[in-house]
Amino acid sequence: MTATARTIGPSSRAEDATQESQVRVVFRRFRRHRLAVISAILLLVIFGASLLAPVITTFPRDAIDVSSPERPAPPGTVSRDGRMHLLGVDHLGRDLFTRVLYAARVSLTIAFLVVLISETFGSLLGAVAGFYGGRVDMILSRINEFMLTIPQLPILLIISAILLKRDVVLPMPGFVSRLLSALLLAPEREAQKVVVLVLILVLFGWLSAFRLMRGMALTLSKQDFVEALRAAGSSDARIIFRHIVPNGIAPILVSASLNLGAVIVLESALSFLGLGVQDPTPTWGNMLDFARSYMFKHPWLPLVPGIPLVIVSMGFNFIGDGLRDALDPRLKR
């Protein structure tokens, strides 16, 4: 909850009393959306658990438990060395609770990275396009329209199929892969592949932010106060960053929250189809892919990664809904 307030804080430049209370108004309105609050709490729990994954579970991520009585084994199985597998073990004998936690790390990291990059990138491009208009706007808008027209899922699938089948690792600065491998608690080589997936998802991720910010910039740039700012000698960059972007932050926040849910679903769909994150890096999607082959004998298996996936996806949607009500009551559906 405080996280929500904090993200709104800086953008509204909360300094004087009236501004401060506006944050509180938003906070109060958000609290009124009961499902959004519940989702926020559930999501915080899942974040916390995934952050503390190595502390919570004693099993290493890829360790195969040879003393497990069967593989896959149902939740609560106690292996012969006396250790219990809370959610059972998978077909190779790896502890599922551990893998679900690490998968949460992977899925959430990917979703946050994709949304962060694409909302920033999209809204900056949108602000520039809407503010300057003319040829810049035309080219960017055409590209945007083009991307919206072509069917998304098949294109995403073929791109990741091409890149994955050929084991492409994009050249990237070392700190990127090191940072990511620290976030994912995975070897750098796996982290590099995740970067490829993130970029693939950004390809279509920036579209909505671009359109939102462009529309906002288009109306704002025609208003008198922008003219006044120009007359007073403000630079274009200052007008864009201090006046246009903050005005568009509210809808961008809402769309970012909804996009988080969408990206999680998309990533897990790609991984489910074997064209996203690859084993041994766990994600809910590729865990479901394995579960599919064993579900006829072990029907609980798909539920283990599936339930957290649904909670997180719905959670982000509810929070987006709550944020929309809180930030702009006019948009209430």
Classify residue 323 by burial, with Cβ atoms within 10 Å: 0-12, 13-18, 19+.
Answer: buried
CB of 270 to another protein, least distance (A): 10
Residue closer to another protein by CB (options 82, 151) is 151
Pick one of 134, 135, 146, 175: the residue that binds another protein (CB under 8 A): 146
Instruction: Give me the 149-188 binding string for another protein, x by CB under 8 A, dash otherwise.
Output: xxx-xxx-xxx-xxx-xxxx--------------------
Counting contacts by CB under 8 A, is residue 310 touching another protein? yes
Place of tokens 């909360």: 14
Q: What angle do CA 273, 117, 255 make, to 5 degrees?
A: 80
> How many residues of this chain interact with another protein, rule: CB under 8 A?
41
Q: Residues 117, 274, 279, 328: which binds another protein (CB under 8 A)?
A: 274
- Specify the DSSP class assigned to residue 239: I
d(CA 28, CA 173): 43
- Cα atoms found within 13 Å of the Cα of residue 70, Cβ hemisphere only: 9
291 near another protein, rule: CB under 8 A: yes
42 binding another protein? (CB under 8 A): no
Tell me the β-bridge partners of 84.
78
Q: Is residue 288 a contact point for another protein (CB under 8 A)?
A: yes
Report d(CA 4, CA 311) in Å as an integer.
Answer: 19
| Nearest distance in Å: CB 257, another protein | 12
Enumerate residues 6+ apart whose C-beta is below 8 A from 293. Answer: 91
- In sequence order, which ranges of 89-133 are alpha helices (DSSP H)? 96-132
Q: Based on CB atoms, which residue is closest to another protein, 291 or 326?
A: 291
Pick 157 or 195: Cβ nearer another protein: 157
Q: Decide: 106 and 186 in contact? Cβ < 8 Å.
A: yes
- Rule CB under 8 A: choose which of 72, 93, 126, 261 binds another protein: 261
For another protein, give the closer residue by CB, 215 or 306. 306
Strand, helix or coil for residue 15: coil
Q: Is 317 in the site for another protein (CB under 8 A)?
A: yes
Q: Output the smallest distance, CB 33 to another protein, in A.
A: 13
C-alpha triplet 208, 201, 281: angle, nearest 5°:
145
- The residue ranges that bind another protein (CB under 8 A) are 146, 149-151, 153-155, 157-159, 161-163, 165-168, 261, 265, 268-269, 272-275, 288, 291-292, 295-296, 299, 302-303, 306, 309-310, 313-314, 316-317, 333
